[in-house]
Chain A
Amino acid sequence: MAEPRPFSVTRLPGFTAIAITAFVALYLPIITIVVFSFNALSSMSQWGGFSLHWYREAWANDTVQEATIRSLLIATVAALVSTVVATLAALGTTRQGRFRGRTAIYALINQPLMVPEIVTAVSLLIVFGAIRQATGYQGLGYLMLAHSAFCVPFAYLPIRARLEGMDRTLELAAADLYATPLQAFRRITLPLLMPGIAAGAMLAFVISLDDVVITEFVKSAGQDTLATYMLGQFRRTLTPEVNAISTALLALTLVLLTGFFLITRKRA
Chain B
Amino acid sequence: MTAMDQPSPADQAIAADHVIKRFGDGDSVVRALDDVSVTIAKGEFFTLLGPSGCGKTTLLRCIAGFETPTSGRILLSGRDITREPPNRRRVNTVFQSYALFPHLTVAQNVAFGLEMLGKPRAEVSRTVDRMLSLVRLDAFAARRPDALSGGQQQRVALARALATQPEVLLLDEPLSALDLKLRKEMQSELKRLQHETGITFVFVTHDQEEALTMSDRIGVMSAGKLLQVGPPREIYNRPVNRFVADFIGETNFLPALVEDGQVRLTSGEVVGQGQGQGRVTVAIRPEQLHLALPGDGGAIPATVEGSTYLGTDSHVQLRLVDGSRLVARVPSQPSGDLALPAGTQVGLRVAPGAVQVLAD
Contacts and interface: CB of A to CB of B under 8 A. Distances in A.
Given A188-B101, A192-B103, A176 B116 contact: no
Contacts of B97: 167, 169
Interface in B147-172: 160-161, 164
Interface in B90-131: 91-93, 95, 97, 99, 101-103, 112-113, 116-117
Contacts of B160: 177
Nearest to A191: B103
B92 to A, nearest CB: 6
A178 B99 contact: no
Nearest to B89: A176
A179 B64 CA distance: 14
B87 interface: yes
A258 interface: no
Contacts of B72: none
Given A167-B99, A169-B99, A188-B101, A174 B93 contact: no
A178 B90 CA distance: 8
Contacts of B116: 174, 177-180, 183
A173 interface: yes
Interface in A170-190: 170, 172-180, 183, 187-188
B113 A177 contact: yes
| 4 tightest A-B CB contacts, nearest first | A177-B113, A178-B116, A173-B99, A169-B99
Which residue among A172, A177, A191 has the maximum number of chain B CB atoms within 10 Å of its CB?
A: A177
25 contacts: A167-B97, A167-B99, A169-B95, A170-B101, A172-B86, A172-B93, A173-B93, A173-B95, A174-B116, A175-B66, A175-B85, A175-B86, A176-B64, A176-B93, A177-B92, A177-B112, A177-B113, A177-B164, A178-B87, A178-B116, A178-B117, A179-B87, A179-B112, A179-B116, A192-B102
Nearest to B117: A178
B297 to A, nearest CB: 63
A173 B117 contact: no
B87 A176 contact: yes
Interface string A182-212: 0100011001100000000000000000000
A183 B95 CA distance: 20
Contacts of B112: 174, 177, 179, 187
Given A177-B113, A178-B113, A179-B116, A172 B99 contact: yes
Given A183-B116, A187-B112, A176 B101 contact: no
Contacts of A174: 101, 112, 116
Which of under 10, 10 to 19, 20 to 34, or 35 or more describes the interface residues of B? 20 to 34
A196 B188 CA distance: 42
Contacts of A176: 64-66, 86-87, 91-93, 161
Q: DSSP majority for the A interface?
A: helix
A192 B64 CA distance: 24
A178 B86 CA distance: 7
Nearest to B112: A177
Contacts of B101: 170, 173-174, 188
A170 B86 CA distance: 13
Interface in A129-166: none
Contacts of A169: 95, 97, 99
Contacts of A167: 97, 99
Given A169-B95, A172-B66, 13 more contacts: A167-B97, A172-B86, A172-B93, A172-B95, A172-B99, A173-B95, A174-B112, A176-B86, A177-B113, A177-B164, A178-B117, A179-B116, A180-B116
Contacts of A173: 93, 95, 99, 101
Nearest to A192: B103
Which residue among A172, A175, A176, A187 has the maximum number of chain B CB atoms within 10 Å of its CB?
A: A176
Nearest to B64: A176
Interface in A80-103: none
Contacts of B85: 175
A42 to B, nearest CB: 54
A90 B161 CA distance: 30
Interface in B43-96: 64-66, 85-88, 91-93, 95
A176 B172 CA distance: 14
A177 B65 CA distance: 12
A152 to B, nearest CB: 27
Contacts of A170: 99, 101-102
A95 to B, nearest CB: 15
B88 to A, nearest CB: 8
Contacts of B117: 178
B144 to A, nearest CB: 11
A167 B146 CA distance: 14
Interface string A52-84: 000000000000000000000000000000000
A167 B64 CA distance: 18
Contacts of B86: 172, 175-176
A178 B114 CA distance: 8
A180 B91 CA distance: 15
